[in-house]
Structure formats: C-alpha cells, structure tokens
Structure 1
Amino acid sequence: MKTRETSNRLGHFRNMTRLFIVTMSLTGSVAMAQTKDPVIDKIVAEATTNSQLEKLAHELIDGIGPRLVGTPQMKQANDWAVAKYKSWGISAKNEKWGDWKGWERGVSHIDMVYPRVKSLEGMQLAWSPSTNGKTITAEMIILADVEDSVAFAKWLPSVKGKFVMISMAQPTGRPDYNWQEFATKESFDKMRKERAQTTEAWRKRMSKTGYTAKTLPVALEKAGAAGVVMSNWSSGFGVNKIFSAYTTKIPTIDIGLEDYGLLFRLTESGTKPKIAVRTDSKDNGVVPVFNTIGEIRGTEKPEEYVMLSAHFDSWDGGTGATDNGTGTLTMMEAMRILKLVYPNPKRTILVGHWGSEEQGLNGSRAFVEDHPEIVQNLQALFNQDNGTGRIVNVSGQGFKDAGTYLTRWMAKLPDSLRLRIRSSFPGSPGGGGSDFASFVAAGAPGFSLSSLGWSYSNYTWHTNRDTYDKIVFDDLRDNAIVAAIMAYMASEDPERTSREKAPLQVNPRTGQPGTWPAVVKPIRKGPVN
C-alpha cells in the first residue's frame, strides 16, 4: 500500500520525467545542461526552443527564390534582409559595391517534336538571350569531330539554323556509388574505362576546333546556329550544374542527362530529331548591386569588430538553398539570437551578406577595399558556405596564434557541438573558395566554419536540385549556436587577436616556401563571362 508521501514523490518524479522528455525533444542534438555563462545558456535555449530558421527559409528560399547577381530577386532579397533585421531591432543597410548586367529569368519550354513528341527537362543558362516571345523549332546537330581548326572552320557553316550539341553523351546516368553497390567489379571497371575514353575523346574533339568552352558558343552564334545545347552533368541522379551563357543573340540551354542522351543517340543514328525551344528572359540593362550589412553596436570597444559572414547571391538553376541560403540563414538566426540575449556587446558585431561571390568573391572583396577601418580592427570573422551540414572543421588560416584564441572560444561550445569539430592550427591561408578569403588576403583573421558534406559537391552545389527540401534544419540550428557563441566569445575576449602569420609550408612542386594570398581587386561591373 502506497503512503500519501510515496504517491506525492512518485507524482513529482513522473512530472520531472515528462519535463525532461519535453526538454530533450526540443533541444535535438544540443544538451541543455547549464554552463557557467548565462549568455551561452540563453543562446542555446533560444536557438533550440524558438528557432526561426524554417520561417526564414520559407520566406527566402521559397518566396524570393534564387539570387543571381543583377536580378530583381537579388535586390528583393537584399531589401527583405534589411527589413527582417530592423524588425529584430538590428541596424541594417544595403551598401552598393558595383553595377551588373540586369537580367531576369523567364519560362523555359523545351520539347522534342520529331521523331515523336516529348517534353524535355532543361532550362536556359543564366544571362541567356531570350527567343523574343517566339518558339524556335530546328534540327539537332552534334559538334563535329574534325582533324584541326582549319577543318572545323570549313564545317562551321553547316550549323546554320540548327541546335548544336556541344557536350558529350554520358555512358551512364547512374552515379558511381550506385554502380559500386550493385554492379560486378568487372562491369564497374568496364564502365569507368569506357567513360574515361569517351571523356578524353570529347576533350580532343573540343580542342581540335581551336576554340574553348567559352569561345565556342560565340563562334556557333556567329555561324548562324539556332541555339547552343549542352548537358553539364553533376554525377548524380537527375542533377546538372547550371552556370552562365556566353551567347548574346541565340539561346544557350542545358538539358538533363537522360533527355540529352536521347537526342544525342537519335542524332548520331541519323534520325535528325527536332526540338522546339522558347526561352523568356528580360535584359534590364545595367543595375546597381549591393551587400547587406547588419550591425549590433559595441558598448566598450565600438571601433573593434566581430563579423559573421555568408554570401547572399546564388546561381539560379535551383533556388540557392544550400549555396548559400543555409549560410545566410545561419548568420541571420545567430544575429537575431545575439540581439535578444546579448544586446550590448563589448565590440561591434557585424554581419555581411555578400553579392557576387559566385563570380569571384566580388562583394566581399569590394567591402575589404571600401572599409579598411573595419579590416584593420577586425577581431575575427566567421564565414559559412559549404552546404547545409553541421560544422565539423575550423582551420587557423595560417595565423600563428589562431589556435590559442579559437580553442579558448570553442571551449565554451556545448560538448555535443565542440567534440565534433576538428581543427588544424595554424593551418594554411585560404586563397579563394569563399568570402573569408577576401579578409585573410588582407591579413585579417577570417575563418571558415566548414560543414559536413551531405553530397554537396554533386547534388546541390550550383545545381538544378539546390532547393528547400535539401536543407537539414537540425544541423542549421546547431550551426547558428556555434556562430552566435563564437561571435559572443570574440566580442567578450579582453585580448585583441594577433595577426602574426605562421611560416608557410614548402611547396613540394617548387621547393619554395608558400606565399600569403594576394589581395585581389573586385570586379565591380559584370557579368564575368
């Protein structure tokens, strides 16, 4: 028989158990154990129990979509971010850094109309000319395999009025991991040998034309081709990379591997397939382009800076979800949380959402050039730009003492986050890749918060599949915690970070010591073709 006291204790135990279960369900992978720092506890609690990431992602990725530099969508995203920051009480502005070709994507309709009717998966490339409201129907022709550039010049007139295929036909649309799982070793080896031979043969075919991948489409345009057709397969099921067109009068389109292979085989067999193409787009002339900058003003050392960083622009084959919508969302959420739980930082905390990273880090390079006072007084910059995965690597970027302060700051991360991060100190300075490199080149401590892959390079990096559904929000919540805590620790640290550079490793190819990356001037007028 239970006493009343025993019943009360059991009831209390059940209630505490329920509370523990609810708390753990809210926190996901981050433990809510109290630390000795109430600000860090509040960062973790806010990020895990009141995350705004899904809402922000829906507004940016679904509502605005891809953010190709020079498009109305990019400017819409700039304005959206400023409004969002201001709604959180954070000062923000759009800062012009250059001018770009104004262009707006329209509908792409691509259909095979002979020898049968089939709608094809494909789209025009960025900055491709439109067909001016018309549908162009024409026969397909494959880039000729000729002896040399002289023979190619003789062949060129045959492209007039035709769609020219300039990519090789892949021998398989299955990624290698699928072959490894199901094929015999002999079959897999045979396929890889065939693919290597086909790739090398196509490389030679291109080389013998006397043109490059950049100049060939222009030559075909001048010769009167109806359009340029390619397939930039990204080694995964149904995924192609979508970059920019080099033509100015005729459309350049990318067709998915499966449909491109169909057209290639039909053309090769003499069937002479025809496709009908309509690509709507708008040339909006030259437009101004911007970085979006947010600020939480410092109270004790306002002229010293901690910076969160992520590029805002994207290619537009998909919606730019993981390149770099996820980095953008991580830094916006970190800033929201910091303003809420740490509204009076010691140092000024900035966030930079950069334009035209995809064409060469242009927005961040312009910021470095335009704001030497910030670069000279930068305590640390944290950049995220390699997909949706949780942060697993931090390098010292060649700064001799980076290990001392970064390790000190990372020690304050919850164990569930800290223990998964590998570090290399002092590391080597990044010469490119993402916007932290713009600051590193100028001698400022910029660091990349590098993430777990999630098949980034094949499936979402610059592809038609870089969409909302590829975001892993549990990992993003963890990343926002890491970014916010690192910014908080950098702001609070009583010491200024050292900029002393470590001796660089000897280049094994030259036998000479490595050199620090040079500052590169931004391209302030584009596109870069």
Structure 2
Amino acid sequence: MKLTDLYFKPAKALAAVGVFAAVSGSYVSFAQTKDAIVDNIVKESNQNSQLKNLAHELLDVVGPRLVGTPQMEQANKWAVEKYKSWGIAARNEKWGEWRGWQRGISHIDMVSPRVHTLEATQLAWSPGMKKSVTAELVIIPDLADSVAFKKWLPAVKGKFVLISMMQPTGRPDYNWKEFATPESFEKMKKERTAQTEAWAARIRKTGYNGRTLPVALENAGAAGVVINNWSAGFGVDKIFGAYTKKVPTIDVALEDYGLLYRLIESGHKPKIRVQTESKENGVVPTFNTIAEIKGSEKPNEYVILSAHFDSWDGGTGATDNGTGTLTMMEAMRILKKIYPNPKRTILVGHWGSEEQGLNGSRAFVEDHPEIVKNIQAVFNQDNGTGRVVNLSGQGFLHAYDYLGRWLSKVPDSIRNHIETSFPGAPGRGGSDFASFVAAGAPAFSLSSNSWSYGNYTWHTNRDTYDKIVFDDLRNNAMLAAILAYLASEDPAKTSNEKSVMPVNPRTGEPTKWPDQTSPTRRGGLD
C-alpha cells in the first residue's frame, strides 16, 4: 500500500486484544490491560459528574460568550474561580483587544395592519437606538441594474428594508421527504432552486453584496435592515454579526419574515416598531483562560486539553462550544482528583475569539513557542454535544503509534464508537487544533456525531442548555481525561514527523502543510 493510500481510510477503533496496524512498513501490537487510574476516572465520571452543574452555571447564569462582551469577561473569571476551587492553578492571559459591545433589551413588534410581537433578534454588534422607531417596511426590488438601484435607493429613507429571500417553505427537507408525495417534493425543490437563483441575481444587480448592501442602505437613510438567515430546520436561524454601524440589523424568524414579506407584496404596507438597547463599551481586553496541573517528572512537556470558550450569542453557545468547554473542565477536575501528580504538565486552554478566526489559540501558539515545541499531544473538542466518533492522525506520520497505544486502554464502551484515520491529513481550520497543527505540534480533533448540529445548534438561536446530551458529554469527558493521563504517562515522546502530502489533482503539485497564521489582536474596531 502506498503511503498516500492511507489518507482518509477509516478503521474501526482498536479491538480489545491483539490489534495490529501497518505503520511505515512495520507492525505494532497493542493489548488492552486493566489500569486502576482508568478505572477510577470512569468511576468518578459516572458517580460524581459535575457536568450538569457546570452547564447550568456557564450557560444559564453567564450565558452566551461573544468576544468583547461583559459575558465573555464574566465567563473568564468564572472559569478561573472554578479551577481554583478544585485546587488547580488557573489564570486569564491577555492576547488582544476587541470592540466592546453589550446586548440590551430588544422589542420588535408589528403594529400594522395588526399587532403581533415578532420573533426577532438584533445581530451581534448591531448599534443600539436612543428611542424606539416605528416605520414602514419595503423589499429590495428587482431592478435592471445598479444604475436603476441607485435611483431607487433614496426611497429607503425612514423605512426598514427586507434584504433576504422569503423561503417558500418553513419545513425542512426531511419533513417533506417523510410526508410529501415524491412529485410534490421534487416540485418544491425545483421552485426553491429557481427562486434562490433569482434572488441572488436580484442582489447582484444592485451592485452590492451581503456585506456591503446593509451599509449602502444605512447610508441612504434606512431606519434599519431586516434579514432572515434560516438554518433549514424548524424554528432555527443563524445569528451572526451586523455590518451596519448607525442603524440596527435584525434577523426575523422565517415564519414572521414571511408574514411581513407577504403583507408588503399584497400592498398592506406593514409597519414595525423596533427598540434595541445595545451598548458600546469602547475597547476591551480579550483573554484565554489557562489552567494546569504541573508535571512531576517532565514539567516542561505538555499534554493540552483544548476548547474554545467564546460563542455567538443568538442562543447561549451550548453546543458551540459550551460542551467542549465543559468536557475539558470536567476532565481536568477528574484528573486533579484521580491523577494529581502527572508526569507531564497537563494544561487546558479555553480560547477566545475562535469564531472570528481561531484568534485566541493562534495567539497562544505565537506567544508560547517554548510550550509548542514540547507538546506531547493536544486534544480539542468543538463540534457539538455528541459522543466522539472520529479521530484523525492529522497528517502526522507516526500518530498511530502513540494514539494506538492510548486508545487500546480506553474502555470498549467509549472506544468502540470511534473510527480512526491514519495518518490522515492536517486540518486547516474549523477549530483550534488547527492552530497547533500548523505549528507542527501533534494536535487532534475529538470529533463528535451530529445530533443535527449543522442545522439546529451551530451558530443558531436554539443553541441552548436543553440541547445537551449529558450521557454523550460524560463519555467525552472520560475520554479526554483518559487520553490526557495516558499521554502524560507514556515513556516515549511523541513524534511530530509529517507525512508525505498527497498530490493536489488540480495543480499536480504536492499539497502543502498549512502555514502558521498570526491572530487578529484588535478586532471589530474599524
């Protein structure tokens, strides 16, 4: 088998006894043996889990953790105090500065042709209003070209402007597939595709795009911008940031957005009243929360548990990435109790501003080369509440040697869910493990199963405590703690030798290892 043939070859996680694997032409044998520390980690996790308490404190009390907000600062302080209560040294380490912004009370109501309170959310960093504004709504028209649009643009003065397509259905495709006739389902999809293409053409003909159009509207005197960023599921919208700086940008849920759109089209001239009380807080510092259990024999070698701490704020950031955060906090709590004197230093990083480009972890990698060069392994968890089901070698040639040793000692009930891919390919983004991979450190993503993550919780207004599956979360905390323990105890230092990268079929050139990227250390201030 060619080395390149090993890429993306999934293999069911190691069997309990006598597993053999081809790695660089040699065979390595692993056998599962009883380990008292592993047994005690499992026992502590099952009998004394703190996950529900931690989830309530972080998600319900602190809430969402948008970079630059008071809730992010509160979360940083909460985590440090929690670690200290467990006897774990912790600190908040400044890495940059961000635009300070604080969400306030919002009320968005239709007041004509009837009264109806709308399900709507002010976008992050959207400017607040000194007083409520009541105004008519208009839709971006379908005009011939940008010249015609510029002639129309003064018509938006004093009005709220709808700039998103009205979805033809509020039912997700799986619901259509289950109940519709095949002919009806295909007809809907065909009509939706045509409508989507027509709307994209409509926006292009304005001469603007999704980022620049809201700014053009506010400069023309619009009272505000209204969008719908549907996430293709019942009741879910993606909630990101605003581009406007003088007037509010509001995401209205699909059901109410369609209502407003249809009323405009039928000539009923609906009006809404908007009150948004967000507050600008100037320039604020941004932090990573770092905690560590110092190594007793090799304190300058590191096993790192990794999860980003920040979130978007449409919901409370429960599965992105509250669950990753809780996994690593619970793992550290268990390790301090069961394995208080590790051979290597076990460090946990709760990174800031992952959502804006892995900024916190990139800053840590850039600021701490002395740690990065001595990393034994990084384990990162990010993509939702589900149990870990995938583990890739991230392009490190000998990753199977050491990950195989460690996985062979993980209990069957956890390990049997995991598919592996060795040596895999290096991650280029997506979550904070990629910051370490780019610097050549062996870093791995503990990738979870879906639980409809992409549609229902990833960056949505429904990413809340009730979406957590605590059995799966407990599974992941056990796994992280066990892997950290085994990586710490391993007599051998892990290899960070890189695989020969496959040829890119489009260019005919070998794929390059991802470059280390500097973080944005001053954000949202332009």
Q: Tell me, in whole angstroms, the C-alpha distance in 2 between the residues paired with 1:81 and 1:245.
A: 29
Aligned to 1:465: 462
- Give the aligned CA root-mean-square deviation in angstroms: 1.0
Q: Tell me, in whole angstroms, the C-alpha distance in 1 between the residues paired with 2:171 and 2:383.
A: 24
Aligned to 1:24: none
Matched, 1:368 2:350: no
Question: 1:118 pairs with 109, 116, 119, which one?
Answer: 116
Q: Tell me, in whole angstroms, the C-alpha distance in 2 between the residues paired with 1:495 and 1:212.
A: 53
Q: Tell me, in whole angstroms, the C-alpha distance in 1 between the residues paired with 2:252 and 2:135.
A: 16
Aligned to 2:126: 128
Paired AA for residue 368 in structure 2: H
In the TM superposition, residue 509 of structure 1 has moved relative to its aligned partner by 2.2
Any residues of structure 2 matched to 1:215-254 within 5 Å, and which? Answer: 215-254=212-251
Normalised to the residue count of structure 2, the TM-score between the two structures is 0.93
Aligned to 1:139: 136
Q: Tell me, in whole angstroms, the C-alpha distance in 1 between the residues paired with 2:147 and 2:511.
A: 43
Deviations 1:442-479 (A, max 9, x none): 11111000001000000000000000000000000000
Paired AA for residue 320 in structure 2: D
Q: Radius of gyration: which is bigger?
A: 1
Matched, 1:474 2:471: yes
Normalised to the residue count of structure 1, the TM-score between the two structures is 0.93
In the TM superposition, residue 36 of structure 1 has moved relative to its aligned partner by 2.0
Q: Tell me, in whole angstroms, the C-alpha distance in 1 between the residues paired with 2:57 and 2:176.
A: 39
CA contact (8 A) 2:393 2:421 kept: yes
Question: 2:395 pairs with 390, 395, 398, which one?
Answer: 398
Deviations 1:465-513 (A, max 9, x none): 0000000000000000000000011101111111111011222222222
Q: Tell me, in whole angstroms, the C-alpha distance in 1 between the residues paired with 2:494 and 2:446.
A: 18
Q: Secondary structure at 2:108's aligned position in 1?
A: strand
Matched, 1:298 2:295: yes
Q: Tell me, in whole angstroms, the C-alpha distance in 2 between the residues paired with 1:105 and 1:380.
A: 38
Aligned to 1:456: 453
Aligned to 2:210: 213
Q: Secondary structure at 1:236's aligned position in 2?
A: coil
Paired AA for residue 129 in structure 1: P
Q: Tell me, in whole angstroms, the C-alpha distance in 2 between the residues paired with 1:67 and 1:426.
A: 35
What 5-or-longer segments of structure 1 have no aligned partner? 1-33
Q: Secondary structure at 1:106's aligned position in 2?
A: coil
Question: 1:37 pairs with 17, 35, 38, which one?
Answer: 35
Paired AA for residue 120 in structure 1: L
Paired AA for residue 289 in structure 2: T
CA contact (8 A) 1:35 1:41 kept: no
Q: Tell me, in whole angstroms, the C-alpha distance in 1 between the residues paired with 2:47 and 2:515.
A: 44
Deviations 1:97-154 (A, max 9, x none): 000011110111111111111000001000000112x111000000121111111111
Aligned to 2:182: 185
CA contact (8 A) 2:38 2:482 kept: yes
Question: 1:74 pairs with 68, 72, 75, which one?
Answer: 72
Matched, 1:407 2:404: yes
Q: Tell me, in whole angstroms, the C-alpha distance in 2 between the residues paired with 1:528 and 1:54.
A: 37
CA contact (8 A) 2:345 2:488 kept: yes
Structure 1 outlier segments of 4+, above 3 Å: none
Q: Secondary structure at 2:105's aligned position in 1?
A: strand
Q: Secondary structure at 1:62's aligned position in 2?
A: helix
Aligned to 1:99: 97
Q: Secondary structure at 1:262's aligned position in 2?
A: helix
Query: Matched residue pairs, number?
Result: 495
Deviations 1:334-365 (A, max 9, x none): 00000001000000000000000000000000
CA contact (8 A) 1:359 1:528 kept: no
In the TM superposition, residue 419 of structure 1 has moved relative to its aligned partner by 1.1
CA contact (8 A) 2:456 2:463 kept: yes
In the TM superposition, residue 35 of structure 1 has moved relative to its aligned partner by 5.7
% of aligned pairs identical? 74
Q: Secondary structure at 1:250's aligned position in 2?
A: coil
Q: Secondary structure at 2:523's aligned position in 1?
A: coil
In the TM superposition, residue 211 of structure 1 has moved relative to its aligned partner by 1.0
Aligned to 1:14: none
Aligned to 2:6: none
Aligned to 2:435: 438
Q: Tell me, in whole angstroms, the C-alpha distance in 2 between the residues paired with 1:142 and 1:166.
A: 6
Paired AA for residue 428 in structure 1: A
Q: Tell me, in whole angstroms, the C-alpha distance in 2 between the residues paired with 1:382 and 1:247.
A: 38
In the TM superposition, residue 528 of structure 1 has moved relative to its aligned partner by 7.9
Q: Tell me, in whole angstroms, the C-alpha distance in 2 between the residues paired with 1:375 and 1:65.
A: 32
Question: 1:385 pairs with 382, 391, 411, which one?
Answer: 382
Q: Secondary structure at 2:324's aligned position in 1?
A: helix
Question: 1:497 pairs with 494, 498, 503, which one?
Answer: 494
Question: 1:83 pairs with 81, 84, 102, which one?
Answer: 81
Matched, 1:169 2:166: yes
Q: Secondary structure at 2:494's aligned position in 1?
A: coil
Aligned to 1:318: 315
Matched, 1:148 2:141: no
Paired AA for residue 68 in structure 1: L
